[in-house]
Structure 1
Amino acid sequence: MTIVYPVKRRQFLVGTAGLASAAVTGLPAISQEGEKLPAYVAWKDPSDVIVHTSETLETTRAAQGDALITPSSDLYIRNNLPAPSDEIVADRDAWEMSIEGVAEPGAITLGDLKLLGSETVVAVLQCSGNGRAFFDHEASGSQWATGAAGNVIWTGVPVRAVVDAMGGIKGDMSFLTGTGGEEIPDGLPPESIQVERSVPVAAMEQAILAWDMNGEPIPLAHGGPLRLIVPGYYGVNNVKYLKRLAFTAEESPAKIQQTGYRVRPVGVSGDPSQPSMYEMSVKSWITGPLEDASTGRVRIEGLAMGGTSAVTGVEVSTDGGNNWQEAELLGPDMGPYAWRPFFLVVDLEAGMHTLASRATNGNGDTQPEEFEPNERGYGHNGWRGHAVEVNIG
């Protein structure tokens, strides 16, 4: 399956000019917050990302625009551990991982995985904390607004094809568990820091072991040479540098599974009884205009995602939710896990206007107005928090 997608001309020009200038003058690439881009992501477009930390980079809201596919140079970064050495992508096909919990367990190389078939899926990659900045209780962690999300083309072998090649799942297993290949610092128990996530075994039906992102080998910064992709699930479940895939009766004992990424009331510690950050919710946000605009005809743009089912409609309000109008969806429908750009052209008089959007998906779920706070600021999809104020005049 081949998908052709447009590159935003403004981003191309700004990005190439910025990188050329840095190369000629020897100056570092600088983000909008004035932070130097870390070396492992120096190829990112510095004008389109915000550096929160060396392991967390956010796409600016304006840069998201109405792009159908997020360019790799703009896609956000969220790493729970530092990326491994780039030696692991020197010979990608030699990367080896183990398959467990099947009738014929064993190790397999990326090169051999490619012989089992491939599929392409377009799916939103989104951090669990995207929207954290809109909570009032100052949840710990990077203060993501809307930019810890992107719409990405993934290519790899379906997990179900790998399972078939290895004789099927052995026994009654409840979880699909992926283990990352990041290096564990000396002296630390692996389970205290290792990236290992378990998702319900039913997710196997849509999951793939991906080696390409947007038509190119997955960059090291985004989990190359091999990444588990579970469409419709939050980013933490899409394990980078995949070294082990196991079908298990129980969830991983790793801290990131047992107590991390658990939804609980503010002030409450995490524990395995609480909901885990698995499937994403329906969500949308305005991407323009974000500042002043002229009176008269105004084009309002934004992005909408359905989570685990396709977006079926988006409404836009120019008065803070008192009145709503149906927006038009842009571009082809790229599948249930992809986002859809939308727009609405309206006449706006001079003054302040609160622009908001609310999306509905194929399951009949619609964005709520508010979203109840939780300790770590996960999963915010309330439309009021994502609204923007624009001065017209």
Structure 2
Amino acid sequence: MLSIQRRHFLVAMGGAGAAASLRPFAPAPARAQEDQALPEDFAWKDADSMIVHTELTLETERDAIGTSGVTSKDVLYIRNNLPKPGEDIVAAPDAWEVSIEGVNEPRSLTVGELKQMGVETVSSVLQCSGNGRGFFEHDASGSQWRTGAAGNLLWSGVPVRAVAEALGGVAEGRNFMTSTGGEDLPEGVDPKEVVIERSVPIGHAMEHAILAWEMNGEPVPLAHGGPLRTVIPGYYGINNVKYTKRVAFTEEESDASIMRTSYRVRPVSVSGAPDQPSMWEMKVKSWITRPLADVQSGRVLIYGVAFGGINALDRVEVSTDGGENWQEARPLGPDLGRFAWRPFVLAADLEPGTYTVTSRATDTEGRVQEEVTEPNHRGYDYSGWRVLAVDVTVV
């Protein structure tokens, strides 16, 4: 199957027509209202940094991302396809069991047993597939995320390859690693229509995937998939299955609806199908985080974040005139690795006026962040630098 970076869909009049149908520069989302209440389950989040979409979806305010490179759990976005399980599953996290299948010695293991098999820490961007949906013009269904359905985390857990090796190795003929979540499924519905079960290519999984029990040095919170979460660095969030209760090495992709027809990149008004590109590898991407409003003239510091998606980040450029001219920005903080994002800053001397500020990232394979993202039916991952721009007034 082709990766989404190598296959694009055109609608209506094709690429040029699609680009013309988009707003040239979308305004930054308004800050949350002061009386906006967080859902009870997520009341521990920083209310001033969150936008509430639904009881199950919270977005991080665009200017709430700091410069350390690691996203605090207090401001990390929330996205759940199903209600989260009860708090009891994180009361004794080491007792949580996960079934390992498609190996030569299949068995169930507790988190406590997994901790004896090895540990690695990886810094990886966690990004909802729909991040940027609010920038598309065709009113795709789902939460109208702008830039805030993403964060960068430190995950610690056992490498999947170490688990497979401890259980006699992967059985022959297996092409995918399939993870199943432990949410309670509603009664009276075909489980395959609602279960969170995602398959990813086995090569990437065996090299990079971990079963994580820590996030940013603490036990993975229930809200973010604890006590055990599958982490697939470089892949969209849907593949990072929460409450992992089953990991299977399989010949075929899962036949669950969320794999078979959902999270497929397809033209507007076309139904999902297994032969369409799956939301696997993330694209190279960046955006400005500050300033988003009026600033004083003179030396202005322009901040943002950038990442290479499936590849490492090479560089990021900033434009203050809507993409006519570019200057290379300076990365901030340590390089946290291939799959992490990197905060950046550019110091610009700006006189009074209005400036259209945007950024453009390039990965180590030479892939440059796209100028415009072609429309797709579900509004997945708007990454085009032109519409991610912000207008800043210098006074």
- Compute the TM-score of the two structures, normalised by the length of structure 1: 0.91
Measured in 1, the distance between the counterparts of 2:144 and 2:48 equals 19
Residues 70 and 153, structure 2, Cα contact 8 Å, conserved in 1 = yes
Distance in 1 of aligned mates of 2:71 and 2:254: 32
What's the secondary structure of 2:115's corresponding residue?
helix
Q: SS state of the match for residue 40, structure 1?
A: helix
1:141-220 equivalent positions in 2, closer than 5 A: 141-204=142-205, 205-220=207-222
- Please name the residue that 2:338 is paired with: 336
Q: Give 3-state SS (helix, strand or coil) of 1:82's partner.
A: coil
Q: Read off the aligned partner of 1:128 and give its amino acid letter.
A: S
Cα distance in 2, alignment partners of residues 62 and 329 from structure 1: 18
Q: String of CA shifts for 1:37-93, please: whole Å, max 9, x gaps.
A: 222212111111111001110000010133310001110000000000011111101
Task: State the partner residue of 1:19.
Answer: none
Counterpart in the other structure of 1:313: 315
Which residue, 243, 246, 250 being the options, matches 1:244?
246
Q: Which residue of 1 aligns with 2:370?
A: 368
Match of 1:38 in 2: 39
Matches of 1:370 and 1:305, distance apart in 2 = 17
- Quick one: which amino acid aligns to residue 334 of structure 1? L
**Correspondence for 2:286:** 284
Q: CA deviation at 1:308?
A: 1.4
Match for residue 303 of structure 2 among 294, 301, 304: 301
Asked if structure 1 preserves the Cα contact closer than 8 Å seen for 2:133 and 2:382, the reply is yes
Write the mapping of 1:48-127 to structure 2, written as runs, cut at 5 A: 48-127=49-128
Shift of 1:34: 3.7
Q: SS of the residue aligned with 1:257?
A: helix
Distance of 2:279 and 2:35 partners within structure 1 = 32
Aligned to 1:384, the other structure's residue is in SS state coil
* C-alpha distance in structure 2 between counterparts of 1:196 and 1:347, whole Å: 50
Deviation at 1:203, TM superposition (A): 1.9
Match of 2:136 in 1: 135
Query: For the Cα contact (< 8 Å) 1:284–1:303, is it kept in 2?
Result: yes
What code does the residue aligned with 1:169 have?
V
Q: 2:123–2:154: 8 Å Cα contact kept in structure 1?
A: yes
Letter of the 1:230 counterpart:
I
Q: Residue 123 of structure 1 aligns to which amino acid in structure 2?
A: S
SS at match of 1:338: coil
Letter in 2 for 1:70: T
SS of equivalent residue, structure 1 residue 203: helix
Deviation by residue 1:138-165 (Cα, 9 ceiling, x = unmatched): 1111011110000100000000000000
SS at match of 1:47: helix
Give, in whole Å, the separation in 1 of the partners of 2:319 and 2:245: 46
Secondary structure of the residue that 1:164 maps to in structure 2? helix
- Do 2:180 and 2:197's aligned partners in 1 also have CA atoms closer than 8 Å? yes
SS at match of 1:87: helix
Runs (5+) with no aligned partner, structure 2: 1-30
Q: CA deviation at 1:171?
A: 1.1
Identify which range, 342-351 or 205-214, moves more after superposition.
342-351
Which secondary structure state, in structure 1, belongs to the residue aligned with residue 369 of structure 2? coil
Cα distance in 2 for partners of 1:127, 1:280 equals 10
Aligned partners of 2:35 and 2:363: how far apart in 1? 38
Q: Deviations over 1:314-369 (max 9, x none)?
A: 11000001111111111111100000011111111211100010000111111111
**8 Å contact 1:316–1:344 — kept in the other structure?**
yes
CA distance in structure 2 between the aligned counterparts of 1:132 and 1:280, rounded to whole angstroms: 15
Between the aligned partners of 2:320 and 2:62, the Cα distance in structure 1 is: 18
Structure 1 counterpart of 2:124, which letter? A
Kindly indicate whether the alpha-carbon contact (under 8 Å) linking 2:67 and 2:333 is maintained by their aligned counterparts in 1.
Answer: no
The CA distance in 2 between the partners of 1:67 and 1:92, in whole Å, is 29
Q: Secondary structure at the match of 1:138?
A: coil
Q: CA offset at residue 35 of structure 1?
A: 3.4
Deviations 1:94-116 (A, max 9, x none): 00010000000011100000000
Question: How far apart, CA to CA, are the structure 2 residues paired with 1:187 and 1:78?
Answer: 24
Once the 2 structures are TM-superposed, how far is the Cα of residue 379 of structure 1 from its aligned partner? 2.0
For the residues of structure 2 that align with 1:110 and 1:149, how far apart are their CA atoms? 27
Q: Which has the higher contact order (CA 8 A, sep 6+)?
A: 2
Paired residue for 1:6? none
1:262 aligned to 251, 257, 264, which one? 264
Judge conservation of contact 2:68–2:333 (CA < 8 Å) in 1: no
Higher mean Cα deviation, 305-314 or 219-228? Answer: 305-314
Distance 2:314 2:361 in 1: 8
Task: Tell which deviates more after alignment, 233-242 or 304-313.
Answer: 304-313
Q: Distance in 2 between matches of 1:387 and 1:293?
A: 16
* CA-to-aligned-CA distance 1:365-390 (integer Å, 9 cap, x gap): 11111110000011211101110001
- The letter for the 1-side match of 2:98 is M
Between the aligned partners of 1:196 and 1:289, the Cα distance in structure 2 is 39
The structure 1 segments of at least 4 consecutive aligned residues displaced by more than 2 Å after TM superposition are 30-36
Give the RMSD, CA atoms, in angstroms. Answer: 1.1
Counterpart CA distance in 2 for 1:66 and 1:311 is 16
Task: Choose which of 330, 347, 350 in structure 2 pairs with 1:348.
Answer: 350
Residue 31 of structure 1: how far off its partner (Å): 6.0
